[in-house]
C-alpha cells in the first residue's frame, strides 16, 4: 500500500481500522496495572497524567503531570546512551477478550477533570468480575475458574490477565525501545539526552504537557527512563503520533555525513519501496543512501518540509496501528485523516485545538523551549470513548541545547547552522488543520454551545 499516493492509502488503512471497530483487536485499550493487593491496582495511590481535558464541557485543567518519583528509583544515572538500539522486546500481545474486561470502565466512569480519576473508582472485586467476564463464550473455562480452590492460582491468573491488558501501544519509533511497567508507567531505553530533557522539563512551564518523569531504573541489567503511560486508564484510546518540526535530523548528523558519508542500505530499500525513481543513478548502483539524504527525502514526500509536522502513526479505538502515512503531505489529506481519526466528533477536534493553543502559550513562556532545538519530537494526540481528549509532547531523544549565542525562534525555516527546528511552524499548521476540520462538520457534529 505504501506506493499508493497519500490519502487513498491512508483512508483505506484507517477505514479498515474503523471497520474493525476495536472488536477483537490485538491492541491494548485501557487497563490498570499492578496486582491485586497492590494499592496502585485499586487506584488508591494512582496519580498521573490521565486526561486533564474533558471535552464533555468542563474545559481544560492542565495540571496533568506529576513531579517527583515516589519509588525511590535512582535519578540521573549517567549511562551510555541506548537511544536507537533495536530489539524486539515489545509487550506481549493482548488477548482479544479485553473489551469485555473494559466494560466496567465505561459504566460508572468519573468524568471529572482530575488527572488521576480514570483509575480511581474501582475496587478489586469489580476487577475480578471483569476478568471473569472476559471468558464469556468459554463456559468451561469460567466454570473451571469458579471451582478453583487455590487462591494462589486464582490471583496468578487475574494478575496475568491484567498485565496482558496493559494500555500500552507503540505507534511509532524504534522497536524494542519500550517496556511496560506496573503502576501506570512505562520504561523507555535510557538516553542521556532524553533523560536530561525530561529532568529539565519537570521544572519548566512545559511540565503539564509532558509525561511525568520518574527517574531512571535498571531492569535486566539495562537502564530505562521511567515515565507515565499516557494511555493509562483510558477507554479504548484512539492515538495519533505527529512528528514535529521542519527538520528531523540533527545538524551534527549532517556534518558527520558530509565528512564521512555512511551508506545506508536499509534506507535505500525503504526509499525505493515507496518510489523507485527517487534514488539517483549512483544511489541505485550503490544500493545505499546517506541518512540525511533519506531523512530529507522523507521530509519532502510527507508534510514535514511544507507544514512543519507529519503524521507517523494512528490507531483508532484499539484497532490495528496504521503507519502508512509516508506520503501524506497536503493539508487536505491531513484534514481527512483527522476527521476519520476523531470519527468527526467536533468536541474532540475542538478539545485538541484548545490544548494546542494553550501549549503554544506555554512554549512561548518556556525557558527550555527558548534554549533547545527540538528535533524528532512528537505530539501524541489521545482521545477515548468517554470523550476525553489530550495532546502530549513526547520523545526528546534528539532535543539538544542550542549554542548559547543563538536565540532560537522556532517559527522560521531552517538554514544550516541556525539550529532552527520549525516547531512553531508545525504547531501553527496543526492548529489550522484542526480548525479547518471543524469547518467540514455539520451543525449536528459540533458540540452544543456551553451554557452561559
Ligand X SMILES: O=P(O)(O)O[C@@H]1[C@H](O)[C@H](O)[C@@H](OP(=O)(O)O)[C@H](OP(=O)(O)O)[C@H]1O
Kindly tell me which of 83 and 350 has the beta carbon lying closer to ligand X.
83
Instruction: Determine if 270 is a binding residue for ligand X (CB under 6 A).
Output: yes
Task: Name the nearest CA neighbour of 62 among 72, 71, 53.
Answer: 53
Kindly tell me which of 59 and 80 has the beta carbon lying closer to ligand ATP.
80
Cα 405 to Cα 426: distance, rounded to the nearest angstrom: 24
Q: Please pick, from the candidates 394, 425, 427, 430, the single residue that binds ligand ATP as defined by CB under 6 A.
A: 394
At CA 434, angle to CA 17 and CA 30, rounded to 5? 45
Cα 58 to Cα 357: distance, rounded to the nearest angstrom: 17
Q: Please pick, from the candidates 3, 84, 87, 203, the single residue that binds ligand X as defined by CB under 6 A.
A: 84
Answer for the pair 140, 281: CB distance below 8 angstroms, yes or no. no
Contact partner at residue 229 from ligand X, ligand ATP, none, CB < 5 to 8 Å by partner kind: ligand ATP
Strand partners, 322: 314
What are the angstrom distances between the C-alpha of 131 and each of 76, 101, 180, 410?
39, 6, 20, 49
| Residue 67: how many other CB atoms lie within 10 Å | 12
- Find the shortest distance in angstroms from Cβ 137 to ligand ATP: 30
The helix or strand, by DSSP H or E, that contains position 278, with its residue range, turns out to be none
**Taking contact as CB under 6 A, which single stretch among the options 181-189, 291-299, 301-309, 383-391 is the one that binds ligand X?**
291-299
Q: Give the residue closest to ligand ATP by C-beta.
A: 173
At CA 313, angle to CA 278 and CA 375, rounded to 5? 70
Instruction: Determine if 170 is a binding residue for ligand ATP (CB under 6 A).
Output: yes
Binding mask 54-83 for ligand X (x = CB under 6 A): ------------------------------
Instruction: Determine if 376 is a binding residue for ligand ATP (CB under 6 A).
Output: yes
Q: Which of residues 189-218 bind ligand ATP (CB under 6 A)?
A: 211
Number of residues that bind ligand X (CB under 6 A): 8
Cα 121 to Cα 131: distance, rounded to the nearest angstrom: 16
Binding mask 372-391 for ligand X (x = CB under 6 A): ----x---------------
**Taking contact as CB under 6 A, which single stretch among the options 99-107, 117-125, 290-298, 444-452 is the one that binds ligand X?**
290-298
Answer for the pair 437, 356: CB distance below 8 angstroms, yes or no. no
SS3 content of the chain, % helix, strand, coil (to 5): 40, 15, 50
Kindly tell me which of 214 and 350 has the beta carbon lying closer to ligand ATP.
214
Torsion of CA 86, 92, 93, 95, to 10 degrees: -170
Name the site residues for ligand X (rule: CB under 6 A): 84, 248, 270, 291, 295, 298, 376, 398
Name the site residues for ligand ATP (rule: CB under 6 A): 170-174, 177, 186, 211, 227-231, 239, 241, 313, 376, 378, 380, 394-395, 397
Amino acid at each position: 500500500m505504501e506506493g499508493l499516493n497519500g490519502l487513498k492509502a491512508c483512508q483505506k488503512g484507517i477505514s479498515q481500522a474503523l471497520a474493525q471497530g476495536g472488536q477483537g483487536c490485538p491492541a491494548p485499550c485501557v487497563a490498570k496495572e499492578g496486582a491485586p493487593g497492590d494499592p496502585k491496582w485499586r487506584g488508591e495511590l494512582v496519580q498521573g497524567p490521565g486526561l486533564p481535558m474533558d471535552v464533555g464541557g468542563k474545559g481544560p485543567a492542565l495540571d496533568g503531570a506529576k513531579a517527583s518519583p515516589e519509588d525511590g528509583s535512582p535519578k540521573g544515572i549517567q549511562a551510555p546512551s541506548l537511544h536507537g538500539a533495536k530489539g524486539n522486546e515489545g509487550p506481549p500481545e493482548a488477548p482479544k477478550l479485553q473489551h469485555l474486561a473494559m466494560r466496567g470502565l465505561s459504566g460508572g466512569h468519573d468524568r471529572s477533570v482530575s488527572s488521576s480519576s480514570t483509575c480511581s473508582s474501582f475496587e478489586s472485586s469489580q476487577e475480578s468480575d471483569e476478568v471473569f467476564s472476559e471468558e464469556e463464550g468459554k463456559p468451561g473455562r469460567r466454570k473451571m475458574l469458579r471451582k478453583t480452590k487455590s487462591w494462589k492460582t486464582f490471583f496468578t491468573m487475574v494478575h496475568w490477565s491484567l498485565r496482558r491488558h496493559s494500555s500500552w501501544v507503540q505507534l511509532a519509533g524504534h522497536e524494542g525501545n519500550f517496556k511496560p511497567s506496573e503502576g501506570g508507567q512505562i520504561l523507555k531505553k535510557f538516553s542521556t539526552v532524553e533523560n536530561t530533557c525530561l529532568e529539565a522539563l519537570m521544572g519548566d512551564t512545559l511540565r503539564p504537557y509532558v509525561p511525568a518523569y520518574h527517574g531512571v531504573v535498571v531492569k535486566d541489567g539495562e537502564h530505562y527512563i521511567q515515565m507515565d503511560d499516557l494511555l493509562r486508564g483510558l477507554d479504548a484510546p484512539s492515538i495519533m503520533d505527529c512528528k514535529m518540526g521542519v527538520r528531523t535530523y540533527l545538524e551534527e548528523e549532517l556534518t558527520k555525513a558530509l565528512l564521512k558519508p555512511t551508506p545506508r542500505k536499509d534506507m535505500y530499500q525503504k526509499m525505493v519501496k515507496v518510489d523507485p525513481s527517487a534514488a539517483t543513478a549512483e544511489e541505485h548502483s550503490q544500493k545505499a543512501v546517506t541518512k540525511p539524504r533519506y531523512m530529507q527525502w522523507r521530509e519532502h514526500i510527507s508534510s514535514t518540509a511544507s507544514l512543519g509536522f507529519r503524521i507517523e502513526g494512528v490507531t483508532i479505538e484499539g484497532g490495528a496501528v496504521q503507519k502508512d502515512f509516508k506520503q501524506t503531505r497536503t493539508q487536505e489529506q491531513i484534514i481527512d485523516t483527522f476527521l476519520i481519526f476523531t470519527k468527526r466528533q467536533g468536541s474532540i477536534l475542538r478539545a485538541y485545538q484548545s490544548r494546542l493553543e494553550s501549549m503554544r502559550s506555554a512554549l512561548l513562556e518556556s525557558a527550555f523551549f527558548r534554549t533547545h532545538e527540538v528535533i524528532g519530537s512528537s505530539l501524541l494526540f489521545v482521545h477515548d470513548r468517554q470523550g476525553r481528549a489530550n495532546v502530549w509532547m513526547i520523545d526528546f531523544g534528539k532535543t539538544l541545547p542550542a549554542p548559547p549565542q543563538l536565540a532560537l525562534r522556532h517559527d522560521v525555516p531552517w538554514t544550516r547552522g541556525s539550529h532552527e527546528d520549525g516547531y512553531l511552524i508545525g504547531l501553527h499548521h496543526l492548529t489550522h488543520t484542526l480548525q479547518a476540520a471543524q469547518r467540514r462538520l455539520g451543525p449536528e457534529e459540533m458540540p452544543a454551545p456551553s451554557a452561559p
